[in-house]
Structure 1
Amino acid sequence: MELNSIKPSSGAKHAKRRVGRGIGSGLGKTAGRGHKGQKSRAGGYHKVGFEGGQMPLQRRLPKRGFKSHLLKFNAEINLSELNALGADEVDLLMLKAVGLVGELVRNVKVVKSGELTRKVVLKGIGATAGAKVVIEAAGGSLVD
């Protein structure tokens, strides 16, 4: 194989459509644009979603919902994940190292889901009221 003999596979390249080049081409005169109207004119078009002056769909529908840009910095773990961790003291760096929370996370909260059978001390990690009761019942504590 030589560099000067390399060709694209058949059907990969095709000639560009040349419009407005006479009757015989099949795309002469109006060049496939039809007769008259905004779409036939040079530069005559409208923005996306324009409905001819009618109130566009995206403005007729109600606005709803909100997604905070701070969500990527917050994470939550449940009691069963905490139990499976097998550590006596848990902090944010440890959770990141194990892969339970993402690298961008700054705030972690423990939620009451699953069971906790071992004593765990949480350092710099929050907990919901229900989770706090379960952690303290198991002999653990929360340290700020």
Structure 2
Amino acid sequence: MKKVIITVDYNPNSEKVVNKGYELAKMMNAEVCLLHVLSEMRYYGIEYQPFMGYEGYAFPVDYNIQEEFVKVAEDYLQQAKRHIGGENISTKLVEGDTANEILKYSNEWGADLIVMGTHSHGTLERIFLGTVASSVLEKTKVPVYLVPTGEK
């Protein structure tokens, strides 16, 4: 295994995922890519006409918001890279559905392993919404190393 993707989100527990993933990659002398997926930007800068008497989205939208989200995410990835402080580390920022983009990029980059955190969601939430980790596990062609990030 020579290429390891470590997925990071904005949860403070991502530090645990990065540390554990990098520790594993170092043992394998593998190249690392820190991957962050921005949810589809249309959800952040929504501009709807008033509907059902609700005018909450009928305000002018700052179209530079996407650029700001990208800058913040790129800065976050660079900070995570500095945190690791090792060699053979790259970063990748993509936009879209999180699970789909993780799978897509792992294929494009030729990853041998995907490292992800598992958040402690309740049973009902998992049943109705699913999780990114379970979606990746269902469709991946490469091994996935899950790092538990719960409080326990």
The two structures have a TM-score, normalised by structure 2, of 0.24
Structure showing the higher strand proportion among its residues: 2
Q: Which structure carries more relative contact order (alpha carbon 8 Å, separation 6+)?
A: 2
The two structures have a TM-score, normalised by structure 1, of 0.25
